[in-house]
Every structure is written in structure tokens, then in C-alpha cells.
Amino acid sequence: MNDPLSLALREIAETRRLIEGLITSSESFDYPKAKIALRELNRKVRDLAKIEGRLQATLQPCDPKIHVLDFSKSPTPAQL
């Protein structure tokens, strides 16, 4: 599998192309072309859901014994 950033950029570019084609065909009343673009967008939605699942599966869950402490919101000694 490609790295996630390259994969995301490729999918974004392809989705943008499909949406632009749909808008253009809708504005020019080319309904057969718009219908094809909608079908491709539906396929893209399913593909993106699969990719999202694969990428989510590659994320390592945090160790439950590790707790992150956020000290940025704690009062400073001057505020006490």
C-alpha cells in the first residue's frame, strides 16, 4: 500500500475531478454524462470507505497503561 498521504492526495484529486465533471454536465444539461458522474461518485464513496477502514486498521491503539497528561491547562504558580 502507498503511504497514507499520497493515497489521500490521489483520492482527493480524483474526487475533485468527478465532482467538477458532474457540475459541468449538470450546467450544460448533459444528463447522461451527469448520470455517469454520479455513478462514479457512488463508487468513489464505497472505495473511500474501504480505504478509510484499511487506514484505521493500521493505526496502533494506545497502550491502556499509558495516560497522557495535559499540563497546558493547569494553573501556573503565579495563578495559585
Question: What is the mean predicted confidence (pLDDT) over 2-10?
Answer: 82
Q: Mean pLDDT throughout 76-80?
A: 61
Show the cell assigned to 6.
Answer: 499520497
d(CA 68, CA 7): 30
Q: What is residue 52's predicted lDDT score, i.e. its pLDDT?
A: 83
Of all residues in the chain, the percent with pLDDT exceeding 70 is 81
How far is 20 from 59, CA to CA, in rounded Å? 32
Q: Which residues of 49-73 are buried (b: 16+ CB within 10 A; e: fewer)?
A: eeeeeeeeeeeeeeeeeeeeeeeee
Domain range annotation of the chain: 1-80
74: phi then psi, degrees, rounded to nearest 5: -80, 150
Per-residue confidence (pLDDT) for residue 77, from 0 to 100 = 63
